[in-house]
A = this chain, B = another copy of it.
């Protein structure tokens, strides 16, 4: 089974110098996390940016008595708790491993020092931030313009294996419908 590769991903955005790649490698930690591991708990500050070599992850938060999924992420994607990592404030969301993972990560301070010591890395950082920002806007647009059924089909298209990894309730809250409603949507094919 193929795994995603961080340096390949970065180099596909803009070729990085050897010395920059070496410095990244020097900071990088690679770890395995089994299903149900918690990468971030609400109240903590999101300190690390993770790259998913392998596995599947979701973020969620609590509001009232309910739980809401913020996103799902799979191989080749970067994860942070956006609000907390960028603002350096306690997170309102949790990050949880849904499928055994291999993750590479560096922490916030190391990332800042990469930007400082290698100004050209700002380009890469900016492009990644912009790409995920575009995805975030797309999410609001999908909530605004797609039916629940279309949102469900889009999620399955984006993450084909998601039904084996996430529960219906986790998926339903991401789609902004109740679990019973999603179950009925599925029942009609």
The answer for the CA separation of A132 and B126 in the assembled complex, in Å, is 13
Q: Which residue of B lies closest to A61 (CB)?
A: B141
Extra contacts, 15 of them, besides A126-B129, A139-B140, A144-B176 (Cβ < 8 A), are A63-B145, A68-B145, A70-B137, A82-B133, A82-B137, A83-B138, A86-B133, A87-B134, A122-B126, A125-B126, A126-B126, A129-B130, A132-B133, A143-B143, A143-B176
The answer for the CA separation of A145 and B125 in the assembled complex, in Å, is 31
At the interface, yes or no: A160 with Cβ under 8 Å from chain B?
A: no
The answer for the CA separation of A18 and B115 in the assembled complex, in Å, is 22
Q: Is the interface of A mostly helix, strand, loop or mixed?
A: helix
At the interface, yes or no: A113 with Cβ under 8 Å from chain B?
A: no
Whether the Cβ atoms of B136 and A137 lie closer than 8 Å is yes
User: Do A122 and B115 contact each other (CB < 8 Å), given the known contacts A83-B134, A137-B136, A141-B70?
Assistant: yes
Q: Which residue of B lies closest to A143 (CB)?
A: B143
At the interface, yes or no: A26 with Cβ under 8 Å from chain B?
A: no
A144 partner, pick from B68, B83, B86, B138, beta carbons under 8 A = B68
A133 partner, pick from B61, B136, B144, B176, beta carbons under 8 A = B136
The answer for the CA separation of A188 and B141 in the assembled complex, in Å, is 28
The answer for the CA separation of A141 and B63 in the assembled complex, in Å, is 10
Whether the Cβ atoms of B145 and A144 lie closer than 8 Å is no
Type the 1/0 row for A110-148, where 1 means its CB is closer than 8 Å to any CB of B.
000001000100110110011111101111110111000
Q: How far is the CB of A56 from chain B (nearest CB, A)?
A: 20
Which B residues are CB-close (under 8 A) to A70? 137, 140-141
Q: Which residue of B lies closest to A66 (CB)?
A: B145
Q: How far is the CB of A14 from chain B (nearest CB, A)?
A: 13
